[in-house]
Amino acid sequence: MIFPLLAAALFTLATLLPLALVGLVRLLLRRRQRTFWRRVLWLHAGLFVLHLFVVFPLVLGFVGSRVIVTRHDERAYAGPRIDADGTLRIQDRASLKRELAAGGPDVGSEVVAAAIARAHRIPSSGGVVLRAFRVESRREPPVAAVVMVHGLFRSAMELERVASMLRDLGCECWLLELRNHGGSSRAPFTGGLHESDDVVAAVRYVRSRPGRAGTPMVLYGVSLGTVAVSLALPRLDGIAAVVLDSPIDDLHAAASRMLTFDREGDRRSIFYLHEPWRSSTIAALGWWSGFRVEDVSPSDVLATLPHDLPLLVIGAGQDDRAPPASVEALFARLPMPAERRELWLVPDAHHGDVCHHSPEQYRQHLQRLLAHLRGR
C-alpha cells in the first residue's frame, strides 16, 4: 500500500508547495493566515483522496497504455548475427552490455551489416510498421517458416536461442517485434489484442515472399507473444503447428499477477498493488487503450482451434506470471486429441527460461512437433 500512498502524496505536494509559498508571502505582508490555511488544508485533504483513488490508477493505466517499450539495455539490439560457417551467434543482455562498455561490437563489420540487412519492414494495423528479422534455414527449401513472437518489454533478441534450434532443424525463422517493442513503431498497448494484428500481418508477409506460399507455416510465441499468437490463429488459415512457451491464459488474471509481483529480494516488489488499486489500474489501462482487458482470453480462443492442429505448450514450475496451474488449465481446454498436443512442464525453470534451463530437451520437443508436419 506504500506505493499508492506515496504517489498520492507527491501529486498533492505538487499543488500544496506553491500554495505554501503563497502563504509565506502573505505572512511577510502580515495578512491573515488562519482562514487561508484552513481552506488550503481542507482542499488538499480532498485532493489527496482524489489522487489516491482516481488520479493514481489513471496515471498508472496511462503509463501501461503509452509507455510500454523494450527494456533499455536491450534497445541496442540490431539483428541476428550469423558467422561465415552458418552459426548463429546468440546475443543477450550481458553481451550487449559488454559491447557498450567496449565501445563497439565484438564481431566484424560485415557480420553486423548482414544482421541489419536481415530486417524487414511490415505494415500492420493502425499505421504501425513492424520490424522483423529473417534468419535463413540451414537447408533449402526449409521444412517450415516459423513466425516467432517475443514477450513483454523484450525484442527479437529473446527469440535467438530458439531460432538457432529451429534453423538447425531445417526451419526458416522470422523474428517479429510487436508494436512498441524493438524497432517497430508505437501504438496504445492492448496486451496482445491489437498485437495479434501484427502476427497476422507478419504471416501474410512471409507467405507473400518468393517460394513461401506453399511452405508450412508455424507460429511460436513466448509470454505476451502467446497472447498475440493465440488471438491471431482464428484469422489465419493453414497454420501447420503452434508452440506456446509460458502461455498467458487470461489477460486480466495475468495483469493481476504482474501487479502483485512479490519476489524475495527483488526491489520491484515495492510496486505491489492491493485492491482497489489493482482493479482500477487494470480498468484504466483498458480505458486509455480503448479495449476491455476482461475480453482478452487466449484460453477461450485456443479452445476453438482445429482438432488436427499440432500444438506444444511449454511451462515452468517456478513461473509466477504464467503459473503451472494456469498452464495446465489452458492445456486441458485444448480440443486436440492426445497425439496432436503436448504439455511440457519443467519444475525448476522460471518464466520464459525453459530454453536456457533445458536446451537439449527443448530442441527435442521442437523436433517432435515438426515431425507432425510430415504427417499432415
- In the chain, where the domains are located: 2-66, 73-250+296-375
Q: What is the pLDDT of residue 376?
A: 46
Grid cell of 306 as nine digits: 482445429
What are the pLDDT digits (tens) for 264-316? 776 767 778 999 999 999 999 999 999 999 999 999 999 999 999 999 999 99
What are the pLDDT digits (tens) for 342-364? 999 999 999 999 999 999 999 99
Mean pLDDT of 223-250: 97
Mean pLDDT of 105-132: 95
Kindly report the CATH number that applies to the domain delimited by 73-250+296-375. 3.40.50.1820
Q: What is the pLDDT of residue 106?
A: 85
Q: What is the pLDDT of residue 272?
A: 85
pTM: 0.94
Q: How confident is the model at residue 5 (pLDDT cuts 50, 70, 90)?
A: very high
Spatial neighbors of 58 by CB under 8 A, at least 6 apart, are 284
Q: What is the pLDDT of residue 374?
A: 55
